[in-house]
Amino acid sequence: MKRMYVLLAGCCFALSSLAQTDTTGKSNESDTIRVGGMIIIKKGQTNGDEYEEVTIHHRKNDYKPSNISTNWFIFDLGFANFNDQTDYAKMQSGGFLGAGVGESQFELRTGKSVNVNIWFFMQKLNITKHVVNLKYGLGLETNNYHYEDKRILYTKSPNMIVLDSISHGKNKLAVDYITIPLMLNFNFTPRREEGFGLSVGVSAGYRYSARQKFKDDGDVKKTHGSFELEPWKISYIAELQFGPVKFYGSYATKSMYKNDLNHIPYNVGIRFSNW
């Protein structure tokens, strides 16, 4: 008798489940299944004919990078400065600096001294599972050094730095390089298009232009010359990526001057690129 009650209870439960089915013959049900980086949505509907619709979505973090990827026209915007390690007593006796030119005359206007880089391209070559990559490229570096003492004057015959008789409205030295960077990239999230990573390496830049620019009441004057600047600049470089935000930095291996004026340039800023 007890078995009979159990059997009747099971039948009632089954009938109750069938009674909840839409008797109109229409059913809209969907199942979602996640498999790795895919989301599979299965929809079923019956209205005379039975069919199933299956939709497959790829998750954003299922990004599959290629072994070689190219990023065109990268733009950098940052600050330009230098580490002054000059022995000014020695420099005064050498004849390159005029009377009254010392460390304080080379102090920069930090907010005005900017670094702008335009990279024609950068490529990333996979080395190990897209975690370790080689990055290299080609571009132009422009460094603008705005002086607090607007009397600083670079002369060409002979090559000297002296104090002008007037204080100009704006006074800057601009030095431009064509540069090749070479970095080892560590991508900590290789399956994400905008992940987290670090790049370190070196760059070699050749100076193709140098000029001093004055601006007084709207009048602009430029003087082009070598100014005893080194033709080559070798720098340590680094890049940090935090999702879509990227930072860069560079620090030269030696002074940008050929003589004992020991100004070691460095740059820091934000990089606008796809990766």
* Full domain range(s) for residue 31: 25-62
Number of domains in the chain: 2
- Of 18 and 44, which is predicted with more confidence? 44
In-domain check, residue 12: no
**3 assigned to some structural domain:** no
pLDDT at residue 37, rounded to an integer:
53
Q: Choose one of 47, 62, 77: the last residue of a domain.
A: 62
Residue-wise pLDDT for 165-194, tens only, equals 999 999 999 999 999 999 999 999 988 877
Q: What is the mean pLDDT of residues 110-138?
A: 96
pLDDT in tens, 52-93: 666 665 555 556 788 999 999 999 999 999 999 999 988 888
pLDDT at 23 over 50: no
pLDDT band at 274 (very low <50, low <70, confident <90, very high): confident
Which two structure tokens, joined as six digits, stand for 193? 């298009």
- State which of 14, 38, 62 marks the end of a domain: 62
Q: Residue by residue, what is the 3-state secondary structure of the chain?
A: CHHHHHHHHHHHHHHHHHHCCCCCCCCCEEEEEEECCEEEEEEEEEECEEEEEEEEEECHHHCCCCCEEEEEEEEEEEEEEEEECCCHHHHHHHCCECCCCCHHHHCECCCCCEEEEEEEEEEEEEEECCCEEEEEEEEEEEEEEEECCCCEEEEECCEEEEECCCCCCEEEEEEEEEEEEEEEEEECCCCCCCCEEEEEEEEEEEEEEEEEEEEECCEEEEEECCCCECCEEEEEEEEEEECCEEEEEEEECCCCECCCCCEEEEEEEEEECCC
Residues 36 and 125 in one domain: no
**Model confidence at 255: pLDDT above 50:** yes
List the CATH number of the domain containing 189: 2.40.160
CA–CA separation, 54 vs 97, rounded Å? Answer: 78
Q: Give domain status of residue 129, yes or no.
A: yes
Quick one: residue 274, left, alpha or beta (phi over 0 = left, psi -120 to 50 = alpha)? alpha
Instruction: Examine residue 13 and state whether it is found in any structural domain, yes or no.
Output: no
Separation between Cα atoms, residue 19 and residue 40, nearest integer Å: 29
Assess whether pLDDT exceeds 90 at residue 6: no
Whether 48 and 133 share a structural domain: no
- Within a domain: residue 11? no
* 54 and 162 part of one domain: no
Residue 105 in contact with residue 149, Cβ under 8 Å? yes
| 15 is a domain residue | no
* Residue 124 covered by a domain: yes
| Residue 174 shares a structural domain with residue 241 | yes
Alpha-carbon span 102 to 174, nearest angstrom: 20
CB hemisphere CA count around 220 (13 angstroms): 5
- Per-residue pLDDT at 129: 93
Output the pTM of the full model.
0.76
